[in-house]
Amino acid sequence: MPDAPRSKPSHPLGMTVYDLPTPSEVVQADAKRTAMGRLRMLLVLLICAAPVVASYFTYYVVRPEGRRNFGDLIEPVRALPDAKIQTLDGEPVLLPTLKGQWLLISVGGGACQVDCQQQLYLQRQILMGLGKDRARTEWVWLVSDDAEITSSILPGLKEATVLRVNPEVLAQWLQPAEGQQLQDHLYLVDPHGQWMMRFPAKLSTEGALKTKRDIERLLRAAASWDEAGR
């Protein structure tokens, strides 16, 4: 038998119509997307910061092998103040431009007598003893007055960054231990510009070796995120 005739569709074109969202639904959807975007950004920031946090946690909290640090940890850390300083030639420099390296800092007057010269010598020896990690550090001498630099020490400062800083600026940032003066210590600043360690006053040769070991441990802990150069 021949096939029965098929019935014709009542409409030449079939269409599916979707309801448009209400204004409140649009607002809720936008808010949800914004919240998700912020969450993703926060996760990215946490992932980026994780190596820094982990290295500091390792040094400050875990302290492998039960070792104690020789220097005093500064808690909370203190950021480089946003202040102008000067090179020895009188050129203005912003203090935060020192960021990007581990800074081993000493402070003293331009006249720099015997104790000051010994401090500079030990400071240089500590950094030279770091070997391949020397490139991740910077030797900084902050001159806290307008006195002329003793000419006999200038040749030995060729590798140092020497800057004149107003004592008031220093007082807002660095601080000596109780009963000591600012020039009695060496100070360690991390690549983010945070002062985070102060070493005992008037270092001996033995104290300089202990200072070097502290810095070596910090550099090892920060190896996953810190690179040489600014």
The predicted pLDDT at position 48 comes to 60
CB proximity list for 120: less than 8 A, separation 6 or greater: 106, 108, 112, 141, 153, 156, 157, 160
How many of the other CB atoms lie within 10 Å of CB of 93?
A: 16
The predicted pLDDT at position 90 comes to 92
CB proximity list for 51: less than 8 A, separation 6 or greater: 224, 225
The predicted pLDDT at position 26 comes to 55
The predicted pLDDT at position 36 comes to 72
Chain segment 107-130, per-residue pLDDT in tens: 999 999 999 999 999 999 999 999
The predicted pLDDT at position 225 comes to 80
Q: In degrees, to the nearest 5, what angle opens at C-alpha 83 toward C-alphas 77 and 89?
A: 125
Show the low-confidence residues of the chain (pLDDT under 50).
1, 11-18, 61-66
Is the CB of residue 100 less than 8 Å from the CB of residue 135? no
Question: Side chain identity at 210, as an amino acid letter?
Answer: K
The predicted pLDDT at position 13 comes to 44
Rounded-to-10 torsion of CA 77, 81, 87, 93? 130
Task: Read off the pTM.
Answer: 0.73
